[in-house]
Amino acid sequence: MSYDRDVFDEALARLREKHDMGVLIVNERRALLREANPRFGEIEAELRRTSSELFAALRAEKSAEAFNAAMEKNKALRAEREKLLTDAGLDKGYINDIYACDKCRDEYYVDGKMCSCLKNEISLVAYERLNASSPLKPTSFDDFDLAYYSDKIDETLEESPRERMTYVLNFVKRYASGISSRRDSLLFTGGTGLGKTHLSLAVAKEAIDAGLGVIYDSVPSLMMKLDNERFGRGGEGFAEAVCSCDLLILDDLGAEHNTASSRTFLYTIINSRIMSALPTIISTNLSLGELSERYGDAVYSRLTGDYTPVFFCGSDIRMKKKMGIK
């Protein structure tokens, strides 16, 4: 899936603004040179005339002589302009066009393919929107602090929470490293404040940096948007985008109102993405038993049969951070 049109348009507008800034700088330089030395302005005007002469010569039946004469005049004028620049202590390229991207010269496509400058700007816009819609700061794998997890052996786990979460961190990092070719989905389960959202956002960052179309939302917020679209209260194409984006990340499953319509929406999204082999990450504070009881066999069988469960453990990290302890 490509990015939503408004993301593409904003990225393109930003690049064009950078290009326009380059044009403005060059125009200001030329104006200052004309003011300092009127001959510079005369040369510029003569160069424009010789350019017209060149085009006229090309269209004429006997154009070779006129064309060569115009070329020689053009070369002499450019040489004189360069000398004016060097005499003023300026580089010969001082008034050359300034491009935001030298690779595509601000055309944004090279050989019919999108240039990396546009790809990168699209990724930046998408990532900014992701973080604008999230109450959290941008996160990465590097700032996931394992020191907040106890290194004491848990008899139930038969290992310490730190050991378990070290495995979880490495597993999710490996998942994110191959996100461009992923078809499998993850189910993050565990109590509040154990790092599920942090790692979800870290995967989202990797996906966006790879140029993928990502939708990140909480399930309660998602259900509200789908309801609004369903009843014509705003937004179009959101349901389709949710089902077809390169990576969908749903946070806080189980916090939404448990209604027949929300369960139908959830089943449709999960089933559609499984059938399309598109990766999804869903996080929930509910246990597998609670998921079965709340959503029934249809949703539960897909979450357990087609998603890889990732179990988070430990104590509430958010609370520890507020109290300043590890």
Residue 34 makes CB contacts below 8 A (sequence gap 6+) with: 40, 41, 44
Contact indicator for 251, 277 with CB cutoff of 8 Å? no
Rounded distance between C-alpha atoms, residue 293 and residue 300, angstroms: 9
Give burial (CB, 10 Å; 0-12/13-18/19+) of 241: middle
Query: What are the Cα distances from residue 103, in Å, to 137, 175, 276?
Result: 33, 32, 36
How far apart (Å, rounded) are the C-alpha atoms in residues 53 and 48? Answer: 9
CB neighbour burial string for 56-81, b if at least 16 within 10 angstroms, e if fewer: ebeeeeeeeeebeebeebbeebeebb
- The pLDDT tens digits of the residues spanning 219-243 come to 998 888 888 777 665 555 677 878 8
Return the SS3 of 26: helix
Contact 290, 255 (CB under 8 A): no
Does this model's pTM top 0.75? My answer is no
288 vs 91: CA distance, rounded Å: 69
Q: Do the strands 307-311 and 214-218 form a parallel or antiparallel pair, or are they unpaired?
A: unpaired
What are the extents of the domains in the chain?
5-110, 133-323
**With bands split at pLDDT 50, 70 and 90, how would you rate the model's confidence at 269?**
very high
From CA 30, how far away is CA 28, in angstroms rounded? 5
- 134 pLDDT band, cuts 50/70/90, is low
User: What is the percent of the chain where pLDDT is above 90?
Assistant: 58
CB 70 within 8 Å of CB 54: yes
How many Cα atoms within 13 Å fall on the side-chain side of residue 288?
12
pLDDT tens per residue, range 69-115? 888 898 999 999 999 999 999 998 999 999 999 999 999 999 999 99
- The CATH architecture that domain 133-323 belongs to is 3-Layer(aba) Sandwich (3.40)
